[in-house]
Structure 1
Amino acid sequence: MNPILETLSILGTSLVAGLVGSMLGLGGGIIIVPALTLLFGHDFRTAVAASAVAIIATSTGATVAYLRDHITNTRIAMFLEIGSTLGALSGAFIAGYMPTRFLFLLFALLMAYSAYSMFRARKTELPDGVVPDRLSQRLRLSGSYYDKALGRTVTYQATGTLPGLFLMCVSGALAGLLGVGGGAFKVPAMDMVMRLPIKVSTATSNFMIGVTAAASASVYFVRGDVEPLVAGPVALGVLGGAMLGSRLMVKLKGSTLRLLFIPLLVYVAFQMAWKGVTS
C-alpha cells in the first residue's frame, strides 16, 4: 500500500476508534490492534504500543469534555484505581498458576453475562431505588451532573462499593494477562454493580484507562516498540474522534448507550472464547 494512503487509512480508522472509545468508555484498542495487525500488516507489539498511545489520546480528548460537564467522578475513579492497580500487579502471579485457556474462557463468560445483564436493562434510563452502603457514604462516592438528553440535573450515589473494587481488581488482572483494555469490564461493573448512571460509568472509565495506559505506554517507549509513523496518525485520529465522541455522548440517552455497548461486549466475549478454544 502507498505510504501516504496507508497513513490516511490509519488516521481514518483511528478516528472511528476514538469516537467509539470515548462514547463507551473504552480505549479504542479493541479496534486499533486488529486493524493494524490484520489490515495494515504491522507487528503485534507495534500495534499494542500504538494502542497504548491511543488510549492516552482517547482519555485526554474525552476526559477534558466530561470533566467540564461534571460527568466524570474523579473521587470514584481514584478509589477504583486502587483495585485496578492491585489487579495489574497480581496478574503476573496468577498467570503462573492458571492455564491461559481457562482465563480466556472465564473472561468470555463474564463478558457474555455482562452483555445479557445490559440487554435486560436496555430500557432503563437511570438506576432507581439505589441504597448507598456505609463505605460509599463514608467516602462520599456520590455526585450530580446536568443531563442534556433528559434536560435535568441527575443526582446519584454509588453502592456495592467493595464488590465494585473487587471487580476492578479482576479487571486490572485480566487486562494485564490477556492484553485487552479494562474499559469493557469497568463500565459494566460501575453500571450494574455500583449502580452508577451509564454516562458516569463511561466518563469515569475514560479517565481511569488513561491513568493506567500512561504507565504501560512508557514501558513500550523504552522498549522501542512505539513507531512514530504508526503511533502518530493513530494518536491524531483517536484524539479527533474522542473529542467528537465526547460531544455526542452527552446528547444521547443512557438507554441508547447501553444498546451501543451490548454488541461490543458480545464481540469481546466471542473473541475471548475463540482464543480459549483454539489456544
Structure 2
Amino acid sequence: MSLFLALFATGIGAGILGALLGLGGGIFLVPALTLLFQLPIRVAVGTSLMGVIATSAAVGAVESPGRGADIGLALRLEMSTAAGAITGGLLAGWISPRSLYLIFALVVFLTGAYELSKGYKAHAQKGDSRSSEVLFAADYVPSHWVLGLSLAFLAGMVSGLLGVGGGFIKVPVMDAVMGVPLGVAAATSNFMVGITAAASFFVYYNRGDIYPFLVLPTSLGVLLGAMLGFSLIPHLRAAWLRLVLVGLMFLMGIHMILQGLGYSGR
C-alpha cells in the first residue's frame, strides 16, 4: 500500500507540473521514477506512456473534445506519428539503458530551452494586437506536407523512445513549418498525444516492460494531477512559474546525465 501511495503521489506531482507547462507529465515522470524508485529506464518509460494517455484524457475532460483542433490534419499526421512511436518503442529495446538516459537528458534540455524561448516571445509580444481569432484562424491551408510528416515521425519516435508526449516538437512543426495557427496547432497536438502514446505502449507491453502494479497508481495520479494543474493555471503568474519549472527540468536533465554516465547515486 505504501508503494501504491508513493507512486500515486509521484504521478500527481508529475501531472501537475506537466499541465502547468503544457507538456505531458512524462518529461517529469520518467526522471522521478528512475530517481525515487530506481526503476529501469525502459520500465519507467513504459509506465510514463500510460501517464501520457491519462494526461490526454484529462485534457479531454476539461475542454470540449477537439475544441480548436484540426481533426483532419491530426488524423493525417497521426499516421506518421504513430509509425514513429512504434519505431521509437522498438528502438528502446535495442539501445542501451545508459544511452537512453543521455538521449532523455538531451531532450529535456532542448525542451527546457524551447520553453524559455516561448516565455521570451510571450513577453516580447505582450500587448500585441493579435487576438484569439488569429491564433485559431480558420483561413489557412497546411503546407510542406513531406517535411511536416517527416518531423511528425520524429516526434512520434521521441515519444515512443522516451515516454513523453512529443508536443514540444509537433506544435512548432505545425506552426512554423506547415503554416497552422499556433492555437490550432496546440489543440491538434493535444488531440493526438494519447493516440501516439498508445501506439508505443503496446510495444512496451509485448516486451514485458509494463507492470500493472506500477502503471495503475501512477496513471491515476497523473490523471488527477493534470486536472489539478489545469485548474491552477489561471491563478498563477506564468513568467516566474515557467522559470521555476524549467529550472526543475534542467536539474532532472543533470540527474539523467549522471545516470547515463553510471553515477546512479546508490
Q: What TM-score, normalized by structure 1, do the two folds share?
A: 0.66
The residue that corresponds to 1:219 in the other structure is 203
How far apart are the structure 1 equivalents of 2:199 and 2:207? 13
How far apart are the structure 2 equivalents of 1:10 and 1:79? 36
- CA gap 1:214/1:85 in 2 versus in 1, 3 angstroms: closer
Please say if residues 50 and 215 of structure 2, whose CA atoms lie closer than 8 Å, have aligned partners that are also in contact: yes
Given candidates 41, 61, 64, the residue that maps to 1:64 is 61
How far apart are the structure 1 equivalents of 2:200 and 2:10? 22
Instruction: Spell out the pairing of 1:20-169 with structure 2 (5 A cutoff).
Output: 20-68=17-65, 70-88=67-85, 104=103, 111=111, 114-115=114-115, 117-123=117-123, 124=125, 155-157=136-138, 158=140, 161-162=143-144, 163-169=147-153
Given candidates 196, 203, 208, the residue that maps to 2:192 is 208
How far apart are the structure 2 equivalents of 1:203 and 1:22? 14
Displacement after TM superposition at 1:14 (Å):
0.7
The structure with more strand, counted as a fraction of residues: 1
How far apart are the structure 1 equivalents of 2:52 and 2:241? 23
The residue that corresponds to 1:135 in the other structure is none
The structure with more helix, counted as a fraction of residues: 2
Question: 2:121 is matched by which residue type in structure 1?
Answer: A
Please say if residues 119 and 239 of structure 2, whose CA atoms lie closer than 8 Å, have aligned partners that are also in contact: no
Displacement after TM superposition at 1:88 (Å):
4.1
5+ long unaligned stretches in structure 1: 130-145
Secondary structure of the corresponding residue to residue 64 of structure 2 = helix
Secondary structure of the corresponding residue to residue 23 of structure 2 = coil
How far apart are the structure 1 equivalents of 2:87 and 2:216? 32
Identity rate of aligned residues, in percent? Answer: 36
Provide, for residues 199-246 of structure 1, a one-character-per-residue CA deviation record: whole Å limited to 9, x for no partner: 544443232120011122223333333222211111111111222334
Given candidates 224, 229, 254, the residue that maps to 1:245 is 229
How far apart are the structure 2 equivalents of 1:75 and 1:258? 36
Question: 1:183 is matched by which residue type in structure 2?
Answer: G
Moved more, 182-191 or 82-91: 82-91
Secondary structure of the corresponding residue to residue 122 of structure 2 = coil
- CA gap 1:41/1:21 in 2 versus in 1, 3 angstroms: same
Secondary structure of the corresponding residue to residue 27 of structure 1 = coil
Secondary structure of the corresponding residue to residue 171 of structure 1 = helix
- CA gap 1:51/1:24 in 2 versus in 1, 3 angstroms: same
Q: What TM-score, normalized by structure 2, do the two folds share?
A: 0.68
Displacement after TM superposition at 1:193 (Å):
4.4
Alignment coverage as a number of residue pairs: 249
Given candidates 208, 216, 219, the residue that maps to 1:232 is 216
